[in-house]
Amino acid sequence: MKPKVLVTREVFDETLEYLAQYCEVESNQPDAPLSPQRLAERLKDKDGAVCALTDRIDEQLLAGCPGLKAVCNIAVGYNNIDVAACTARGVMVTNTPGVLDDATADLAWALILSTARRITEAEAYLRNGEWKGWYLKQLLGVNVHRATLGIIGMGRIGQAIARRAAGFEMRVLYHNRRRVAPEIEQRLNATYVSKEELLERSDFVVLQVPYSAETHHLIGAAELKKMKRSAILVNSTRGGVVDDAALIEALANGTIRAAGLDVFENEPRFNPEFLKLKNVVLVPHIGSSTEATRRAMAMTAAKNLVAALTTGDPPNLVNPEVRKR
């Protein structure tokens, strides 16, 4: 008998076709977000799930799904999953690292360039019929080339962002929980510094750390005040890493020059005060959103699930200690 699995959100046809070779699949192709109660109801008789960041997998849900063996996130992050609770119940948790690194790094750079050159502000200016012709001080931005880029979080995506900086002849500073290997620093021409020094010296500060209790409000009012008044902040990682209320105040008061944001606290309900500001570029969590990348993410999650349910050894296991159970 094939194991029963739930795909919680819409995926590509090839993902479902692959899963169907090994599993009895229940899918949600209409893509209606599932409430916690509805998600628990649909998972109660399932062996596994391909889930999304919008799905909260916690102890309360797990208690009602005793047969669940694996939850496979279509994301590299997994702060929507209580990993400790899953481990305690013998549930494997997987993610999709690697396949989205370049797309997410590209999006971070789109935000760097858009904020530096005031692209969304300029487009609105044109669309609203305000453009009457060229003049010398029109929508003055800042240079990206030869500026100083500070990256907080030098994992795979942080390194991909740093590689792209070489084309702009930028100085690269970074801060990380652990210093990366010397050969990586040399290859990226990146210098390790404290978080405080990075904030004080960087013209662009890019955040690329996972969200956790330790990184909650990693950037708040105090950190924003350490930055240059001419600096630009880019958050392309997770909402909650930045104190959005403090950032809004800093942007309104000129504490920093601008910000580019792909993620927000409490998304999709973000602070409406952002909409009153011209010096912020806002996009709706599209860091990995290219067709090729999202297809690869969905298929990676599906392969993780099949491996978990057939061999018990999925390739991207987040909680390897679960094997002891």
Catalytic residue among 197, 267, 273, 295: 267
| First-to-final CA distance of the chain | 23
Catalytic residue among 9, 175, 201, 285: 285
291 is a catalytic site residue = no
Closest by alpha carbon to 280, among 271, 268, 288? Answer: 271
Provide the β-strand partners of residue 151: 174, 206
Closest by alpha carbon to 141, among 203, 224, 206, 202? Answer: 203
Provide the 10 A C-beta neighbour count for residue 110: 19
Assess contact for 25 and 7: CB atoms under 8 A: yes
The number of angstroms, rounded, from the C-alpha of 204 to the middle of its chain's C-alpha atoms is 18
Assess contact for 66 and 90: CB atoms under 8 A: no
Catalytic residue among 238, 257, 265, 294: 238
C-alpha 8/C-alpha 303 separation (Å) is 16
175 is a catalytic site residue = no
Closest by alpha carbon to 17, among 299, 292, 297, 291? Answer: 299
Collapsed DSSP state (helix, strand, coil) of residue 171: strand
197 is a catalytic site residue = no
CA distances (Å), 311 to each of 18, 24, 25, 314, 318, in order? 16, 17, 18, 7, 16
Active site residues: 238, 267, 285
